[in-house]
A and B are shown apart, each in its own frame.
Chain A
């Protein structure tokens, strides 16, 4: 295979440059051709590389390609290098393929928008940065991609910049992820300072050799990297930006804030998992944060009525599952769930977008209803996506990945069952809110009449993603059901399988059955509440403690208010206090001082000769005195 791995992030980058330089003057067909075409070519190239990589057996199962040496300063000489190993292969394929589908979808979805060219430019920039991130061989190139996706996220959330609320949401996202990014780069400084390199393979090997498990420096480095991941993946405590990020166009929410960008944190931890293995305390923190976030977000999703916010909280919750898996050492399970989540979450967002498109951009699910007959395509897609999200047993991809996570959590050690319980409850609530959305949106009385039709650019991606959301899980089936391990085997060289504490397959089957029952219970409960409108449930739902709880959950468990009071208000007060700019006052002080000196000295200019003579005498006196003392 010729050394053109760099073209995979390179083609979208060229697309970005071409579209950006055209400054919106390109006709829509050309812009779409470049925007979608660049990603399409990258996808083809990615598949070609995948085919070649899986066929050839490379030493260490790694293919390295160095583009150029970035900088050489006193022992620090990172190269712009790309690495293709099973983990980055999976990430690359998901990013390019799902990205291509979403780009195709946006070609029709954004057709009436005046910023068409700009949209594709930013989307291409995003894909280029994301691919740089996943294909990076050293942490510096990864960080460059990390920053790139942050920039693209800012540009795309605030895409409709004329509305200041969108700009505020974009800023909020950027600032919160920035906090994580700062921790990340401090972690990079620490790693370089201690281990002398940023090349990932070398770094992990050296860390293994020189740092003891549980040492302070390992904990510090892992904690800093974790902070970076928390920011990008919208986990506790940096999670408040994700719901507001839904201000961007729906394809953006699908690509960035569901399928790919928010999973960058998951990828980072998986990539540097040896480091986390050296810091068990931090690893456990990852699991705890994952568990907490998944419950928090699931509860919040339960009573939102903006469909995009439901999906945003749902994303937060599912990434919590991935973090939970990472935290107990089930790396492969986390990546598996990432893959299936990319499929069904992108599907959900695109389907929701399809619904919104034909309902004149209506977001509120309680203003929709009875759409299953009028919009069969959107209905089927959304139903499949919701089923996969809820992890409906046996037929959906989500089931297999979520089950792998829950089994991994259960059998991970003494804290296992406790963490498993949160995942268990989370699964119930997930089923509840996803089918709540389905039933409210598509069943019941029709309130709005949809207009227009779908073109093939909308239908094709929905179809493909639906197929994947159903079948994507069959690459890894637990032993109780069929024992297919293709995915784990693929990732084994990079993400070694954990030793499971209990390997009894009956326990596994029991756990699986319990989860499946709970999920079905959740679906049934949603059915009772929203279709049958059972009175008992309605009375519970409208009682005052339930209302208070609902209000609390609606606001994302009060985190926005908390941060507002702790950080934003004091900072604004400080800014108002410094309205007259202390630093400027210092410069003003210089002016005042020189003016005062001037006025003082001017008083000596009297014009009186004798006074001048006196000053000369005093001066010569002083000079002679100095000469005397210096002798």
Chain B
């Protein structure tokens, strides 16, 4: 079952990470921004799991669990913020939210 080369799996993780970064930089909508960040987190988690699999240790998966926890709480707060910003600015433009105080 585990005859996948870690290099190739890591390659996949890098590609996903780069795609997520492109999304962060290119998209102006706050929701998409958050989504792209999720993609990046997921890619990082993939890298951890690959490492754990390569050494045949549970540590990779445990770190993946922690990444997951982080993603969850971050999404919760982030989405709440998005809703607030939407209520205040009447749009989801990331650039419009550049000035926070007045």
Residue pair A608, B25 in contact (C-beta under 8 Å)? no
Partner of B28, one of A607, A610, A617: A610
Bound state CA distance, A607 and B100, in angstroms?
8
Q: Please provide the chain A residues from 598 to 625 with a CB less than 8 Å away from any CB of chain B in the complex.
A: 606-610, 613-614, 617
Residue pair A606, B25 in contact (C-beta under 8 Å)? no
- B95: chain A residues at CB < 8 Å are 608, 610
Bound state CA distance, A336 and B74, in angstroms?
105
Residue pair A617, B98 in contact (C-beta under 8 Å)? no
Residue pair A614, B25 in contact (C-beta under 8 Å)? yes
- A617: chain B residues at CB < 8 Å are 21, 25
The 0/1 profile, CB within 8 Å of A marked 1, for residues 1-38 of chain B is 00000000000000000000100110010000100000
Residue pair B25, A609 in contact (C-beta under 8 Å)? no
- A614: chain B residues at CB < 8 Å are 25
- Tell me the interface secondary structure of chain A in the complex: helix
> How many residue pairs between the two chains, A and B, have CB atoms under 8 Å in the bound complex?
24
- A606: chain B residues at CB < 8 Å are 98
B99 at the interface (CB under 8 A from A): yes
B94 at the interface (CB under 8 A from A): yes
Residue pair B98, A608 in contact (C-beta under 8 Å)? yes
Residue pair A613, B24 in contact (C-beta under 8 Å)? yes
Bound state CA distance, A617 and B40, in angstroms?
13
- B99: chain A residues at CB < 8 Å are 607
- B21: chain A residues at CB < 8 Å are 613, 617
Bound state CA distance, A608 and B100, in angstroms?
11
Partner of A607, one of B24, B25, B33, B98: B98
- A610: chain B residues at CB < 8 Å are 24-25, 28, 33, 94-95
Bound state CA distance, A617 and B25, in angstroms?
9
- A609: chain B residues at CB < 8 Å are 33, 94, 97-98
Bound state CA distance, A617 and B37, in angstroms?
13
Bound state CA distance, A607 and B101, in angstroms?
11
- A613: chain B residues at CB < 8 Å are 21, 24-25
User: What residue of chain B has the Cβ atom nearest to residue A605's Cβ?
Assistant: B98
Bound state CA distance, A610 and B27, in angstroms?
8
Quote the shortest CB–CB distance from B31 to chain A (angstroms): 13
User: What residue of chain A has the Cβ atom nearest to residue B26's Cβ?
Assistant: A610
- B94: chain A residues at CB < 8 Å are 608-610
Bound state CA distance, A617 and B33, in angstroms?
15
Quote the shortest CB–CB distance from A621 to chain B (angstroms): 10
User: What residue of chain B has the Cβ atom nearest to residue A620's Cβ?
Assistant: B21
Bound state CA distance, A613 and B24, in angstroms?
8
Quote the shortest CB–CB distance from A206 to chain B (angstroms): 82
- Among A606, A613, A614, chain B packs the most CB atoms within 10 A around the CB of A613
Bound state CA distance, A613 and B94, in angstroms?
12
Bound state CA distance, A613 and B25, in angstroms?
7
Quote the shortest CB–CB distance from A623 to chain B (angstroms): 15
Can you list 14 contacts pairing A with B, beta carbon distance less than 8 Å?
A606-B98, A607-B97, A607-B98, A607-B99, A608-B95, A608-B98, A609-B98, A610-B24, A610-B25, A610-B28, A610-B33, A610-B94, A614-B25, A617-B21
Please list the residues of chain A having a beta carbon within 8 angstroms of any beta carbon in chain B.
Answer: 606-610, 613-614, 617
Nearest 4 Cβ contacts at the A-B interface: A607-B98, A608-B98, A608-B95, A613-B24
